[in-house]
Amino acid sequence: MTNPKTIISSLLLACIHCSTWAQPSSENTDEVFFKLTPTFLANSDKTGGTDINLRANAGPIITWIGYYEDTEHFKQVRAGYEYAIGARLGHITPSVQVASKGFTGLSVNHQMGDKVYSILGLSRTNMRDYYNLSFDPIESVSIGIGTKYFKKTNLFYYTVKDNGLNTGETVSHVVWQLSPEKGERWIVD
């Protein structure tokens, strides 16, 4: 059996290699911004959990590593990589997620437009155990619309619909992002 650390390292290196030939977005990559997010969860089934996530943003590149553990002793380390590619037909963002317990997930998202834009997405996994902090279906298609019409504001609506497990699950989001100052962002979902 292949060591999970070897698989994770290989996938992340492959994504980094792919990003060297892709057309980067116009964002400045000289600075790296980090965000550490500790989360404490309480679920209706009486289980609780904790999650810690470290995220690094460098222009079009985002990487993260996280650790989740719940009161039922489910533990999982996960990592991810995404790269925003600026293209004539909008922004395309492929990503890969890997986690302990053998999980692998791939997704691609597309935004087209400027002041008003469309959102399309598709995700696939290998169906291994994975704790999904977003509560969205992980085998899914996404569709939505957004606007950056208001100053320092990004407002969008999107729906994530299961299309892999045939559960019929659909989750919709209205998201408001406010950037009052450079390097600051407030998000309400």
pLDDT by residue for the chain (189 residues), tens only, comes to: 444 444 444 434 334 333 333 334 445 557 898 989 998 888 777 678 899 999 999 989 999 999 999 888 889 999 999 999 987 788 999 999 999 989 999 999 999 998 999 999 999 988 887 777 666 777 899 999 999 999 999 999 999 998 888 888 899 999 999 998 877 888 898
Question: What separation, in Å, do the N-terminal and C-terminal C-alpha atoms of the chain show?
Answer: 41
Domain ranges of the chain: 4-188
Written as six digits, the tokens of 171 are: 């989750």
Distance of CA 33 to the CA centre of its chain: 16
Written as six digits, the tokens of 127 are: 């169906």
Residue whose token pair is 């291994």: 128
Give the DSSP H or E segment for 17. Answer: helix 4-21
Q: Which residues of 62-83 are buried (b: 16+ CB within 10 A; e: fewer)?
A: bbbebebbbeeeeebbbbbbbb
pTM score, whole prediction: 0.71
